Structure 1
Amino acid sequence: MNGHADVGPLTSLDLRLQWRAAATADLADWAALIARTAAVERPVWFERRADLEQILASKKNPAAANTILGFDPEGVARACGRITRNPEGEKAIGFGCVDPGWQGSGIGTGLLGWMEARTRQRFAADADAGADGGSGAAPRLRLHMEQQHTHQAALFGDAGNRIVRYFNEMHRPLQDGFPEAVLDGGLELVTFGPRLHEPVQLAHNEAFRDHWGSEPRNEEGWGFVVNDPLARPDLSAVVVERASGRVADYQLASHDAGSAESRGYAEGYTDLLGVQREFRGRGVAQALLADAMRRFAAAGMDKASLDVDSETPTGALALYAKMGYVAVSTSMVWDKDL
């Protein structure tokens, strides 16, 4: 078994595969494995080569220590895993997949074991380096899955993980017209662009301070948002206060042209929608969602889509329903305290 010196614990991984950390030379094989798995499991979204390039460029979560790829004797990638962690955050997040033809043979269990061991290492290393801000947080691994992937639920449950949250994907058809939403005279809606990157980052960190599971986005994390290969700033907008120029609200959107073929429709996706506390109750979220629908429709989209915490305390679920969004699928968040 081959392994990179920095890749972390390898003892739980299947000896039928050769394991090593992901590198630039592996991008094509890594992306092909994920696409091959997605063709069978049909997730709402999956990572493509451009996303993996971003992952390899991370300085906060270097790939040499936080990714793993397993290759069969013919050199075909059959499994992958990785973790990511905000050093000051309360959890690490695990990602991975196993080639459909190799599922059910224990490889997934081994990958989960690697993620758990690597998570323990990360928390210990961050604490020793003082990178955790002195929080002394106990290691926790978080996993996400879509409800239809029952094989993942069995795997996670058998490994001792527990469901801690549900999220709803919601769609709003665009052929049904658009709701009317008007901003008051002290506010202005503008298209998102580079000059707003930092102000919106600061506004996002403040707006999501009371959201479950959210952690502040650092410079690298925010760079992943604004430089996402699917990001569409032309479909995104920000509400600013005229007098001060302060960000009141923002809607950051993306579009996955590749998913249109598999899903049978084109969607504009609201990745992030946030309202600063002092501007809540003034209709800014409604105005941004209505604006997003018009932008999506003008760009040829069939639906407006977003994802929402089913237990959000902000009233967002009721707002989306009022705007015509309907829940179409559910995903779950699983945690394991280590």
Structure 2
Amino acid sequence: MTSAVPLLLPPTAADLTTRPLTREDAAAVTALMAACELHDVGEVLIEEADIVGDWQRPAFDLATQSVGVLDGDRLVAYAEVFKGRWADGAVTPDHRGRGLGTALSHWTRAVGARDGGTLVGQPVPGDSPGERLFSALGYRTLWTSWVLEMPAGTTITPQPLPAGYSVREPRDEADLRAAWTVNEDAFLEWSERERSSFEEWTATVSRRPGYEPWQLRLMVDAAGEVVGMAFVVVSSGCGYVDKLAVRRDERGGGLARALLVDAFEVARAHGGERSELSTDSRTGALGLYEKVGMQVTSVWRHWAADVAPQPGVAPA
């Protein structure tokens, strides 16, 4: 059995306590991340279903791959590492400057080393305290991401579909598997990660809390084969296009744009008056989204560091 890596707090945080997170901490982590996002980028992007979906992935173990820092009963910082590579962590604004970010960085790299990783990193807002911390700790930038918005009331120009093509909801598991295949094939053309299993993918899509079939949009050809997909989430009046992919041999005919327009429209029909999505510099898709009228609202960068046991982290 894998042993948890203890987090050793600096003397400036000796009054705080640490422990692994549990499923019951999802709301507290959401509140922590929301406070950080509001402070650093001026809007809240996270919702609890995002956390729950990530935590129910089969390969993720909260007991050994997460840690929380508490001030009494209040969660004030946390970190997690998925598959020895993909970290998430945050320190609430009123507890920054106490060395917690540095301690969490050492912990994530130690967990990455324990789990066989060679690199660990996470996205943080551009020109934020997190970015300045990572730079000081010797991390390097691997890519840039942008959050874009289609403002409420913006007219969405329709995108005609080629003859025989249509967009519909999934009907069964075969449709889900087809969407997963299209999504993974497309993203693995540029993403430096291993292929997500079907179970990992559904954890954040069809098994995500609150999921309804209308959220998953399937582009099908005249033969009924799934050649594209989009996944949209509506929260607090915003429709967020979480995933968008078209099979390589079907690109260039406007299918991606048609899926995007459809996702915006179905989101509006379910209360998403404005629409958002994110893309990064590895995809080359920024221009597509700007051409349909989307505007960049925040910039994020993925910072990463080589992993190795770090000073101040007790061995497992």
TM-score category of the 2 structures, normalised to the smaller one: 0.7 to 0.9
Per-residue CA deviation, residues 39-76 of structure 1 (Å, 9 max, x unaligned), is 5444542252x44444554431211100111223x333
How many correspondences in the alignment? 301
Check the 8 A contact 1:230/1:254 in 2, yes or no: no
Q: Which amino acid aligns with 1:141?
A: V
Distance in 1, matches of 2:151 and 2:29, equals 34
Specify the SS of the correspondent of 1:211.
coil
Distance in 2, matches of 1:300 and 1:26, equals 28
Distance in 1, matches of 2:210 and 2:290, equals 26
Name the counterpart of 1:180: 158
Specify the SS of the correspondent of 1:288.
helix
Distance in 2, matches of 1:57 and 1:164, equals 27
Question: Does the alignment pair 1:152 with 2:152?
Answer: no
Instruction: Kindly report the root-mean-square deviation, in angstroms, between the aligned alpha carbons of the 2 structures.
Output: 2.5
Instruction: Name the CA shift for 1:317/1:297 in 2 (closer, same or farther; >3 Å).
Output: same
Instruction: Name the CA shift for 1:56/1:167 in 2 (closer, same or farther; >3 Å).
Output: closer
Instruction: Name the CA shift for 1:224/1:286 in 2 (closer, same or farther; >3 Å).
Output: same
Instruction: Name the CA shift for 1:160/1:231 in 2 (closer, same or farther; >3 Å).
Output: farther
Instruction: Name the CA shift for 1:37/1:285 in 2 (closer, same or farther; >3 Å).
Output: closer
Specify the SS of the correspondent of 2:154.
coil
Name the counterpart of 1:323: 292
Specify the SS of the correspondent of 2:142.
strand
Instruction: Name the CA shift for 1:58/1:186 in 2 (closer, same or farther; >3 Å).
Output: closer
Q: Which amino acid aligns with 1:61?
A: F
Of residues 205, 212, 218 in structure 1, which corresponds to 2:191?
212
| Bigger mean CA deviation after superposition, 212-221 or 160-169 | 212-221
Question: Does the alignment pair 1:96 with 2:75?
Answer: no
| Bigger mean CA deviation after superposition, 62-71 or 216-225 | 216-225
Identical positions, percent:
25
Instruction: Name the CA shift for 1:120/1:252 in 2 (closer, same or farther; >3 Å).
Output: same
Name the counterpart of 1:84: 82
Name the counterpart of 2:310: none
| Bigger mean CA deviation after superposition, 76-85 or 152-161 | 76-85
Of residues 140, 145, 149 in structure 2, which corresponds to 1:162?
140
Distance in 1, matches of 2:184 and 2:50, equals 23
Instruction: Name the CA shift for 1:54/1:167 in 2 (closer, same or farther; >3 Å).
Output: closer
Instruction: Name the CA shift for 1:75/1:225 in 2 (closer, same or farther; >3 Å).
Output: closer
Name the counterpart of 2:279: 308
TM-score (norm 2): 0.85
Structure with greater contact order relative to length (CA < 8 Å, sep ≥ 6): 2
Name the counterpart of 1:255: 234
Specify the SS of the correspondent of 1:289.
helix
Check the 8 A contact 2:20/2:63 in 1, yes or no: yes
Distance in 2, matches of 1:121 and 1:9, equals 12
Distance in 2, matches of 1:307 and 1:285, equals 15
Name the counterpart of 2:312: none
After superposing on structure 2, the runs of 4+ consecutive aligned residues of structure 1 that deviate more than 6 Å are none
Check the 8 A contact 2:170/2:218 in 1, yes or no: yes
Distance in 2, matches of 1:39 and 1:172, equals 20
- CA shift at 1:193, angstroms? 4.9
Instruction: Name the CA shift for 1:101/1:174 in 2 (closer, same or farther; >3 Å).
Output: closer
Specify the SS of the correspondent of 2:115.
helix
Q: Which amino acid aligns with 1:241?
A: D
Specify the SS of the correspondent of 1:171.
strand
Check the 8 A contact 2:234/2:271 in 1, yes or no: no
Instruction: Name the CA shift for 1:9/1:16 in 2 (closer, same or farther; >3 Å).
Output: same
Specify the SS of the correspondent of 1:237.
strand
